[in-house]
Amino acid sequence: MTGTVDPTVFNLIVFVLAIFVGYHVIWNVTPALHTPLMSVTNAISSVIIVGAVLAAGPAETDFGSALGAVAVGLAAINVAGGFLVTQRMLEMFKRKQPKAGKE
């Protein structure tokens, strides 16, 4: 094999493997926690804030970086809201006696 591999090919590799990991991890989630799963995946998908920070980053502000700043704000709502509401829900799941059951 000669030459360099196009970044898109690497992206594709990462993409496919990540889907496999996601598939296997998600099937192990207990159905009782599907709502927290949804709110936490919501928070995780707001990692798009990374793209927003890059867009808002340049020292010279223009139309694009202004939109980037707005996107940072929108995604930040999700980051904070998603993780905190998940935390709030998970705090509610308690078992009866601290000793009942083993795991």
Partner 1 sequence: MSANLVVLWYLVASVCFILALKGLSHPESARRGNYFGMAGMAIAIVTTLAIVAKGRVDIILMAMAIGGTIGAFVARRVQMTQMPELVAAMHSLVGMAAVLIAIAVVNNPASFGIPDPLPTGNKLELFIGTFVGAITFSGSVIAFGKLAGLGKHFRPFSSAPVVFKGQHILNLLLALVMIGFGVAFFMADGKAWTAFAVMTAIAFVLGVLIIIPIGGADMPVVISMLNSYSGWAAAGIGFSLNNPMLIIAGSLVGSSGAILSYIMCRAMNRAFISVILGGFGAAEGSAAAGAEQKTVRSGSADDAAFLMSNAESVIIVPGYGLAVARAQHAVKEMAEKLIHKGVNVRYAIHPVAGRMPGHMNVLLAEAEVPYDQVFEMEDINSEFGTTDVVLVLGANDVVNPLAHEKGSPIYGMPILEVAKSRTVLVNKRSMAVGYAGLDNPLFYMDKTMMVFGDAKKVVENIVKGLE
Residue 101 binds to partner 1 (criterion: CB under 8 A): yes
Smallest distance from partner 1 to CB 54, Å: 5
Give 72's Cβ-side CA count (13 Å radius). 13
Q: Is 97 helix (H, G, I), strand (E, B) or coil?
A: coil
Instruction: Copy the structure tokens of residue 102.
Output: 């083993």
In the region spanning residues 30 to 69, those forming contacts with partner 1, defined by CB under 8 A, are 30-59, 61-65, 67-69
d(CA 20, CA 62): 39
Among 2, 4, 23, 99, binds partner 1 (CB under 8 A): 23
Is residue 102 a contact residue for partner 1 (CB under 8 A)? no
